[in-house]
């Protein structure tokens, strides 16, 4: 790898900021310039296995029904800030970002930037794009904080000031690295281009061809402001449906792809076979990935805290990991695993399994014969069966239902009163997207004013401050003790790559905390 790109990483570490930083701060985001870019000895093509299912392939940010497709959008649209795996940022389409005060953010652009169609990526384009996104109010795919954008003020052709309704500038910084602030070409929209199949942005790549459930091919965008730093010339995605890890592993073993990306998850059995086949692998426990059972807490019987607590006491989390998750994961007692600075040791073992206590709580609540349906995601079938057995030991009978569309049936229509799935959230999104009003993830509209106030306060605090840690402690104790969900275990991010073709595989988190292959920063041999 060239010194040129190494310089970029040094700048990232020096000037990197966390997603929740607030107060007066300047992010000096100067891109690497000059010098030669890293090159590969092959044809410059990076081949990835990824989910290209129809509900993942609406590539206009305002139209997509969930945030997952951003792994396919981000190489095309780019972002003001690029988020690294460790939560720090480096420059992308913004030259500099400054938090002027908790309700004001200044964004400076590089001069002469263009979309892939040649139209200018300037202050007017940014204002139009952000206002288009806000007007769409796509709460299925975007965090509600985008609605806190009160005004986009054009200061100069290369500078805008974002005025926010509330003091959440530190939290809003992460939106500048994600789908909420992806800017599409106004020219493309005016020309009637279908952005769902042919997205037009100012990012490092542009679409060459796209066939849902088959392939998605990108080629390098010569108009990208950091084009000289991108060593990959072409990206070819091959479809692997979610819940089919063996198919992804087979593609790696047969040398048909170089790596697996996004929610095309690999399991332990896959990793063993891949390692034996000479494929590079990595497993990382993730605080942003966990399994949980969400409950409709505003309706009977889950409006009774005793019932929610009983469900928690009925679960053997370690056994669930061992038999339902193939031994991968850590029991989840609060929102951060042991070793994380925000982990609260006082919560360890808080809901350690106690069948007698579970039964007693159900009896007190008049729910000794409790039975209900649980909507499950396709990848949770085995853990669901283990959980079903564990609950039965406490006298709780559940029926497992796998909806055709989990989001529609459970999160929106509430057909089932409980849902079991792998969740993906990072930082305050763990709470703001699941337990605060106005979000789809907050099943049945749970509303705790005291909790809302603490979260709002935390959004204005530096993430490494004592005050931020204290706010999280209060959030944790309040929500865990109330049994706001049945938190089961932290998951892992399994990844694999072809050691013969990939020099350095780089990852970037999406808004859910899920790690995707960073195609613009990965290098090939």
DSSP string, 487-524: EEEEEEEEEEE-TTTEEE--EEE-TTS-EEE-TTT-EE
Report the pLDDT value the prediction gives residue 136, as an integer from 0 to 100: 93
Q: Which two tokens stand for residue 186?
A: 């106004």
Residue corresponding to tokens 């939560």: 87
Cα 481 to chain centroid distance, Å, stands at 26
Q: Which two tokens stand for residue 56?
A: 């993942």
Q: Output the CA torsion sign for 203, 208, 212, 216.
A: negative
Closest CA to 143 of 516, 405, 512, 518: 512
Return d(Cα 495, Cα 515) in angstroms, integer.
9
Supply the DSSP symbol for 461: S
Return d(Cα 201, Cα 65) in angstroms, integer.
20
Q: How far apart are the first and last CA of the chain?
A: 10
Supply the DSSP symbol for 404: S
Judge whether 71 and 283 are in contact, CB under 8 Å.
no
Q: Which two tokens stand for residue 16?
A: 């990197």
Residues sharing a CB contact under 8 Å with residue 11, sequence separation 6 or more, in sequence order: 30, 32, 90, 91
pTM score, two decimals? 0.77
Collapsing DSSP to helix, strand or coil, 207 comes out as: strand
Report the pLDDT value the prediction gives residue 6, as an integer from 0 to 100: 30
Judge whether 411 and 139 are in contact, CB under 8 Å.
no
Q: Which two tokens stand for residue 275?
A: 């390692």
Return d(Cα 371, Cα 367) in angstroms, integer.
9
Judge whether 447 and 303 are in contact, CB under 8 Å.
no
Instruction: Give me the tens of pLDDT residue by residue for the chain, a chain 525 residues long.
Output: 333 333 333 222 222 333 333 333 444 443 333 333 333 346 899 999 998 887 666 899 998 877 767 788 999 999 999 999 888 888 899 999 998 988 999 999 999 999 999 999 999 999 999 999 999 998 878 888 999 999 999 999 999 999 999 999 888 999 999 999 999 999 999 999 999 889 999 999 999 999 999 999 999 999 999 999 999 999 999 999 877 889 999 999 999 999 987 667 788 888 989 999 889 999 888 888 899 999 999 999 999 999 999 999 999 999 999 999 989 999 999 999 988 889 999 999 999 999 999 999 999 999 999 999 999 998 899 999 999 999 999 999 999 999 999 989 999 999 999 999 988 888 899 998 899 988 888 999 999 999 999 998 888 776 777 988 999 999 999 999 999 999 999 998 889 999 999 999 999 998 888 889 999 999 999
Q: Which two tokens stand for residue 428?
A: 């305050």
Phi, then psi, of 4 in degrees rounded to 5: -55, -50
Q: Which two tokens stand for residue 350?
A: 């808080």
Report the pLDDT value the prediction gives residue 42, as an integer from 0 to 100: 66
Q: Which two tokens stand for residue 159?
A: 């500078």
Judge whether 451 and 436 are in contact, CB under 8 Å.
yes
Residues sharing a CB contact under 8 Å with residue 351, sequence separation 6 or more, in sequence order: 309, 312, 313, 315, 333, 480, 483
How many C-beta atoms surround the C-beta of residue 408 within 10 A? 13
Report the pLDDT value the prediction gives residue 57, as an integer from 0 to 100: 67
Closest CA to 466 of 341, 362, 347: 341
Q: Judging by beta carbons within 10 Å of its beta carbon (0-12, 13-18, 19+), is residue 43 exposed, middle or buried?
A: exposed
Return d(Cα 426, Cα 333) in angstroms, integer.
16
Beta bridge partners of 46: 235
Return d(Cα 261, Cα 245) in angstroms, integer.
11
């Amino acid at each position: 790898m060239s010194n040129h790109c190494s310089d970029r990483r040094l700048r990232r570490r020096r000037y990197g900021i966390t997603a929740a930083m607030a107060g007066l701060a300047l992010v000096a985001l100067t891109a690497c310039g000059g010098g030669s870019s890293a090159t590969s000895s092959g044809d410059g093509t990076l081949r990835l296995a990824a989910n290209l299912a129809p509900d993942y392939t609406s590539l206009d940010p305002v139209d997509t029904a969930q945030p997952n497709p951003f792994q396919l959008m981000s190489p095309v649209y780019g972002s003001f800030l690029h988020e690294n795996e460790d939560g720090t940022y480096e420059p992308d389409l913004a030259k500099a970002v400054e938090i002027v005060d908790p309700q004001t953010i200044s964004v400076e652009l590089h001069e002469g930037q263009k979309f892939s169609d040649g139209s200018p990526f300037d202050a007017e384009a940014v204002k139009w794009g952000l206002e288009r996104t806000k007007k769409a109010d796509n709460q299925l795919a975007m965090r509600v904080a985008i609605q806190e954008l009160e005004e986009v003020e054009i200061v100069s052709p290369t500078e805008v000031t974002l005025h926010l309704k509330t003091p959440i500038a530190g939290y809003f910084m992460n939106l500048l690295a994600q789908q909420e602030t992806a800017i599409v070409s106004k020219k493309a929209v005016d020309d009637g281009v279908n952005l769902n199949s042919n997205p037009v942005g100012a990012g490092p790549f542009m679409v060459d061809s796209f066939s849902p459930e088959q392939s998605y091919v990108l080629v390098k965008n010569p108009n990208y402001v950091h084009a000289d730093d991108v060593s990959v010339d072409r990206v070819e995605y091959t479809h692997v449906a979610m819940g089919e890890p063996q198919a992804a592993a087979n593609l790696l073993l047969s040398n048909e792809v170089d790596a697996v990306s996004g929610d095309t998850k690999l399991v332990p059995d896959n990793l063993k076979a891949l390692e034996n086949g000479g494929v590079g692998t990595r497993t990382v426990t993730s605080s942003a990935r966990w399994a949980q059972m969400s409950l409709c807490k505003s309706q009977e019987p889950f409006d009774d805290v005793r019932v929610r607590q009983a469900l928690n006491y009925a679960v053997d989390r370690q056994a669930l990991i061992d038999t339902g998750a193939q031994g991968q994961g850590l029991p989840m007692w609060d929102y951060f695993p042991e070793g994380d600075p925000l982990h609260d040791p006082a919560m360890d073992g808080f809901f350690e399994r106690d069948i007698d206590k579970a039964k007693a709580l159900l009896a007190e609540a008049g729910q000794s014969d409790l039975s209900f349906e649980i909507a499950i995601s396709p990848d949770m079938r085995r853990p669901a069966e283990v959980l079903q057995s564990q609950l039965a030991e406490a006298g709780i009978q559940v029926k497992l239902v796998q909806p055709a569309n989990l989001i529609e049936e459970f999160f929106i229509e509430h057909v089932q009163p409980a849902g079991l799935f792998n969740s993906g959230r990072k930082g305050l999104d763990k709470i703001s997207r699941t337990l605060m009003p106005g979000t789809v993830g907050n099943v049945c509209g749970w509303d705790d004013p005291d909790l809302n106030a603490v979260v709002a306060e935390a959004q204005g605090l530096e993430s490494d401050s004592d005050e931020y840690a204290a706010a999280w402690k209060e959030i944790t104790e309040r929500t865990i003790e109330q049994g706001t969900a049945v938190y089961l275990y932290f998951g892992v991010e399994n990844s694999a790559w072809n050691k013969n073709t990939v020099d350095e595989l780089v990852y970037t988190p999406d808004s859910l905390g899920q790690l995707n292959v960073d195609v613009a920063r990965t290098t090939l041999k």
